[in-house]
Amino acid sequence: MVTVANLGNIQQAQSLKLLLGSAGIEAFIPDEYSAGLTPYLFMGKSGVRLQVFEQDEEEARQIIEHGFDEIGE
């Protein structure tokens, strides 16, 4: 697994996960439960991680770069 984004909150991570899923890329939020229960822990630099399989990394980064503006940063 490769981290392709660190987001400010769980909602942004879930939105990007859906965006990637619509492009056929399976994405994971390893911090999903923790960020939902204690969101203040993820407001710093680390953020909520969004990960994909290594073979999907390049395509996922391109989608994130072009699609994140559409879903709201």
Q: What average pLDDT does the chain have?
A: 85
- Number of structural domains (the chain) is 1
Kindly report, residue by residue over 11-38, the tens digit of the pLDDT. Answer: 899 999 999 999 999 999 998 877 667 7
* Cross-strand bridge partners of residue 7: 48
Q: Where in the sequence is the domain holding 9, given as residue range(s)?
A: 2-71
Task: Please tell me the distance from the alpha carbon of residue 24 to that of residue 18, in angstroms, as a whole number.
Answer: 10
Task: Please tell me the distance from the alpha carbon of residue 62 to that of residue 73, in angstroms, as a whole number.
Answer: 16
Kindly report, residue by residue over 32-47, the tens digit of the pLDDT. Answer: 877 667 766 666 667 8
- Give the N- to C-terminal CA distance of the chain in Å, as an integer: 23
* CATH number of the domain enclosing 23: 3.30.70.1530
The reported pTM is: 0.79
**pLDDT of res. 43:** 62
- Residue 30, burial from CB neighbour count under 10 angstroms (0-12, 13-18, 19+): middle
Please say whether the beta carbons of 64 and 16 come within 8 A: yes
